[in-house]
Amino acid sequence: MNYQKEEIKQGITLHNLHTENFKTNLYAVFLTIPLQRETTTLNALIGAVLRRGTQNLQTQEQISKQLEGMYGASFNCGIEKTGDNHVLKFYLETLSDEFLPEPENLTEKCISIILDIAFNPLTVNGTFKPEYVEGEKKNLKQIIESKIDNKAKYAYDRCIEEMFKNKPYGLYKFGYVEDLEKITPETLYKQYQQLIANCKIDIFCSGRINSKELSEQIKQNSNIKKLQERKPQYIVNNEKTEQKEDIEVNTVEESMQVTQGKLVIGLDIKDTQENSRYVASVYSAILGGGANSKLFQNVREKQSLAYTAGSSYLKPKSSIFIRCGIEIQNYKKALDTIKEQLEDMKNGKFSEEDLENAKKLIIASIDSITEEQDTEITYYYGQELSDRFVTVEDYKKYISEVTSKQVTELANKIQINTIYFLKD
């Protein structure tokens, strides 16, 4: 197997994914802590400020110059929600040494830069540089406000917000404008220190990298040496941890300037049996996984009610989301058609062929995990956070073993939680 995992210190893990299928090496550092209303905006801002400069490369210009000189190495950082965790993600991609026009050792440089950005920020008088904090506050404000720009994404975010009201997963990953005003360089730096002292740290490297040298370089890195051992406080999410209550269906309608309506329906899966996630994947694929799915066929093809119609399974939260772009006056008809499909699933009204098609679709997506470096990293990271270890081969096997009886049984444990409609 091409995957090796090593604990550098308690709470700090190095993952090496050896592969020769790419022209590039990809390095990633993930910092994971529980999602909380009080720290959401702070964490989102931290990522943005870290990107601005380190003690060694004090401005973004210096960082960019350095990366451009490394054949356009690309650095990216972002903030994500994974289950009930807030994750700061840093990525650095470079050409593998083999494809450089002139020989050079880029690996060592990359490790040093990415760790420098995450753990060695530029500080002035013991706190973040005030200009950077002020600048990034303005930018983050615009990012939060731009939530409305992509209507399909907005409708999906709003449905999640309604469905997980007052729960960690309902929080917006970029935080809230009202929290931004109060943030000072001091409060932000304090949160940063809290964060790096307690978070779970995962370092991923993928490509043509010698694992012994890599491990040595990381252990000898001065930024890693500075970090304390920790009992990381992250949240494990899997089908067993997600208990769902019985609730009334929550229907929300909102108006905006749109010509096409966006309908999002959030479903609860009330099944906490171990490994029910494989059945749920297959269920969601039959319902709305692709062009053969019940939603695509019945909502789009047969009735021309929608241009897009599908569903996706949100594994860490045991939820399924149905998403359609529809003509506004077709709302009721589309909703009825969708509900019919859910009923059909409960009554086992799908063919063996539907089941096989759904499995093929999922297996094809599992096969493609190793075909992209960031996808493979995300796969192993997902395992860390669900506290499971399943190889890609086993994953395929479990999917292929799912029966229609299991799917029907699961369908009867699925109920609508929230119906969200964005109209004009």
Partner 1 sequence: MKIIESLKIKEKAYIEKLENGMTIIIVPKKNTKKKYIIWGTHFGSIDNRFIMPQTGEEVFIPDGVAHFLEHKMFEQPNGTNSLDTLMALGIDANAYTTNDHTAYLFECTDNFYEGLDELMDYVQHPYFTDENVEKEKGIIGQEINMYDDDPSWQLYMNALDCLYKENPIKIDIAGSIESISKITPDVLYKCYNTFYNPSNMTMVICGDFEPEQILQEIKNRLLPKENQGEIKRIYPPKENEKNKSEKVSKMEVSTPMFMIGYKDTQNNKENIIQKHIAIEILLNMIIGKSSNLYQQLYENGTLLSQPDLDYEFTDQYAHILISGFSKDPKLVKQKIDETIQKMQENGLDDEHFNRIKKKIYGDYVVEYNSVADISRMFLADSMKGINSFDYIEEFETVSKEYAEAVLKDIFKEENEAISIIEPNE
Ranges within 313-342 binding partner 1 (CB under 8 A):
325-327
Q: Are strands 123-124 and 3-9 parallel, antiparallel or unpaired?
A: unpaired
Rounded CA-CA distance 260/151 in Å is: 9
Out of 1, 38, 101, 231, the only residue in the binding site for partner 1 (CB under 8 A) is 101
Q: How far is the CB of 92 from partner 1 (least distance, A)?
A: 12
Stretch that binds partner 1, among 109-117, 208-216, 272-280, 355-363 (CB under 8 A): 355-363
Instruction: Classify residue 225 as exposed, middle or buried by CB count within 10 Å of its CB (0-12, 13-18, 19+).
Output: exposed
310 or 316, CB closer to partner 1? 310
Q: Does position 146 bind partner 1 by CB under 8 A?
A: yes
**Distance (Å, rounded) from C-alpha 282 to C-alpha 284?**
5
Nearest to 208 by CA among 112, 100, 115: 100
94 binds partner 1 (CB under 8 A): yes
Q: Does 300 bind partner 1 (CB under 8 A)?
A: yes
Q: Is 168 exposed, middle or buried (0-12, 13-18, 19+ CB in 10 A)?
A: middle
Site string for partner 1, 40-79 (x = CB under 8 A): -------------------xxx--xx-xxxxxxx------
- What is the nearest approach in angstroms of partner 1 to the Cβ of residue 104? 11
Burial 40-62 (b: 16+ CB within 10 A, else e): bbbbbbbbbbbbbbbeebeeeee
Which residues, in sequence order, are bridge partners of residue 324? 263, 309
The whole-angstrom separation of Cα 264 and Cα 418 is: 8
**Toward partner 1, which CB reaches closer, 17 or 163?**
17
Given the complex with partner 1, which of 114 and 361 has the nearer CB atom?
Answer: 361
CB of residue 57 vs partner 1: minimum separation in angstroms?
A: 11
Nearest approach in angstroms of CB 343 to partner 1 is 23
- Residue 363 interacting with partner 1 (CB under 8 A): yes
Site string for partner 1, 196-235 (x = CB under 8 A): ----------------------------------------
Binding status of residue 130 toward partner 1 by CB under 8 A: no
| Least distance (Å) between residue 37 CB and partner 1 | 23
Comparison of 216 and 301: residue with beta carbon closer to partner 1 = 301
By CB under 8 A, tell whether 307 contacts partner 1.
yes
Residue of 55, 58, 273, 368 that binds partner 1 (CB under 8 A): 368
Would you tell me which residues interact with partner 1 (CB under 8 A)? 20-24, 59-61, 64-65, 67-73, 93-95, 99, 101, 131, 135, 138-139, 142-143, 145-149, 151, 256-260, 290-292, 297, 300-301, 304, 306-307, 325-327, 353, 356-357, 360-361, 363-364, 367-368, 370-373
